[in-house]
Amino acid sequence: MDRPLIRGIDLTKVYGDLVALNTANLTVMPGEVRALIGSNGAGKSTLIKILTGAVTPTLGKVEIEGEYAPLGDPREMIRRGVACIYQHSNLAPAMSVLDNIYLGRQPTSHLGLVAVKRQRQAARALLDRHGITLDLDVAVGSLSTVKQKEVEILKALALEARVILMDEPTGWLSASEVGKLHATIRALKDRGVGIVYISHMLDEIFAVCDTVTVMRDGKVIAESAVVDIDRPRVVHLMVGEKLARESEQAGQHKRRPRGTGEVRLGARRLSKHGVFTDVSFDLYAGEILCITGLIGSKRTELLRTLFGADRFDAGTLEIEGKRVSLSSPRGAIAHGMGFLPEDRHREGLMLDLSTNENLAMATLSRFRSGILLSARRLSKSARLMIEALSIQPPDGNRAVRLLSGGNQQKTLLGKWLTLSPRIIILDEPTVGVDVGAKAEIYAILRKERDRGAAVLVVSSDLEEVLTVADRIAVMVSGRLGDVRDAEATDINALVREIGSQAA
């Protein structure tokens, strides 16, 4: 019988009074794709950091192919064949594929110069062996997201990794790109590589994984073969009975297409050269309009233009029936608009600042006392928002980077809700967020809709779109299709429209 490639044995990590990980065990066999799932804050990240050597456990051991491994030593874990591909890219975008694969580990000649020919031969052999097609000379930043993920996989394989940990690898991939990545994963599995697959997308777990480990509150609470468990059971194990029930009920709300009947935001044949063309739609007060489609269909570019971050070349934009020209986000905010960008880390939050400070970022002028800010008033306002959105932990002085993904997203949402915006635009609002936090965010959006806000959501997750939308439109290659009532469509109809237009 094969030995496990890696075993975490009774791993425990304590930070002061916080038990982040409690006697957790994880085993990965050769050729096994093991899902590691749980709500934000369940302990998955702590477990992965211990397995990569980034964190030293308080108690417990790690075995690699039957031998105990030194703890808290990332270099040694890499040397022993353990690699990690993180949710956010760890590549140098201006450098070539070849240079990224061997960055910091280039083969050298006896003169100390990079042996380019030997490096290229090794890379070609790696591509051939694993059936991956890439141009070694192209800059990584010019590649699609799925191709960048393949570069990260090749980096791991160049280290002769036997175990690859993948943390939310498909967060920003389209449906077709997810399929391509899953094909690569199956090829690695066939070659005996063990993979730990962390994802909040349960459909992916059932599509590509062999086994599943479920964590909650720092503990491993269940292990199963994927064929022996179903989605409702997984959700209940992840989040507990109450949040599972809320998640199941999230899609049962009453639809409100066209809301109050008042057009809050209107686009009339909006065009931006080489990006999108003749985009027209009405967004009503008191409704949630979702735009979906493949990543790369220019949905994000449309949202940035609506928010004044980019300029359009032709067409008109109207807010409450009046033609407007937004030259900057400042102008959009002045018209009552809030915008949650897709990448909350780079564009939405200031990670090293506190929750209080992030929540006040869009409304700082309210807290001025002369040339200074009133810390007392700022803290009071933030505390009310923390309570309203159930941000956990409810410590406003805690740095945002220390929060889970779901609570970071609620903080970003809260930053804009302090403005009581009349128009809320959200780009992929639940990427990297667990099912329980998704249900909470959906509830927040419906509450904003019901108070009369006009809500525009871009999402690649068709299940999410059908859960939260009052009306839906598909965008393909810079063109927006007809807007239809959510109740009049289903996931198969959306897939057909996306596929027929993309062909």
From residue 274, alpha-carbon distances to 219, 277, 278 in Å are 50, 8, 12
Mean per-residue pLDDT, 29-34: 96
Find the range with the poorest average confidence among 50-64, 269-283, 386-400, 482-496.
482-496
Q: For residues 100 and 224, which has the higher predicted lDDT (pLDDT)?
A: 224
Tell me the pLDDT tens digit for each residue of 9-30: 999 998 877 788 999 999 999 9
Radius of gyration, CA atoms only, the chain = 24
3-state secondary structure 221-271: EEEEEHHHCCHHHHHHHHHHHHHHHHHHHHHHCCCCCCCCCCEEEEEEEEE
pLDDT (mean) for 68-73: 93
* Number of helical H runs and strand E runs in the chain: 16, 23
List, in order, residues 6 or more apart from 199 with CB less than 8 Å away: 35, 37, 168, 169, 170, 205
Q: Angle, nearest 10°, between helix axes 375-389 and 405-417? A: 120
Say how far apart CA 247 and CA 239 lie, in whole Å. 9
How far lies 63's CA from each of 69, 70, 188, 192, 359, in Å? 6, 9, 21, 18, 43
Please choose, from the candidates 406, 388, 394, 399, the residue with its C-alpha nearest in 3D space to the C-alpha of residue 239: 406
Q: How far is CA 369 from CA 73, 140, 348, 375, in A?
A: 49, 48, 26, 10
Closest CA to 410 of 393, 422, 423, 421: 393
332, pLDDT greater than 70: yes
Helix (H, G, I), strand (E, B) or coil at 487: helix
Distance CA 439, CA 445 (A): 10
In 3D space, the residue among 159, 190, 150 whose CA is nearest the CA of residue 79 turns out to be 159
198-233 pLDDT per residue, tens: 887 778 889 999 999 999 878 999 999 999 998 778
**Distance (Å, whole) CA 273 – CA 312:** 8
What is the dotted CATH code of the domain comprising 6-229?
3.40.50.300
Residue 502 pLDDT level (bands cut at 50, 70, 90): very low
CB 438 within 8 A of CB 431: no
Where is 352: in which H helix or E strand?
A: none
CA contacts within 13 A on the Cβ side of 121: 5
Omega of the bond prior to 57 within 30 degrees of 0, cis? no
Q: What percent of the chain has pLDDT over 90?
A: 46
- The 10s digit of each residue's pLDDT in 441-472 is 898 999 999 999 999 999 877 778 888 999 99
Token pair 């380019």 is found at 116
Highest mean pLDDT among 151-155, 176-180, 495-499: 151-155
| Cα end-to-end span (Å), the chain | 47
Domain ranges of the chain: 6-229
pLDDT of 385-419, one tens digit each? 999 888 888 999 999 988 887 889 899 999 999 98
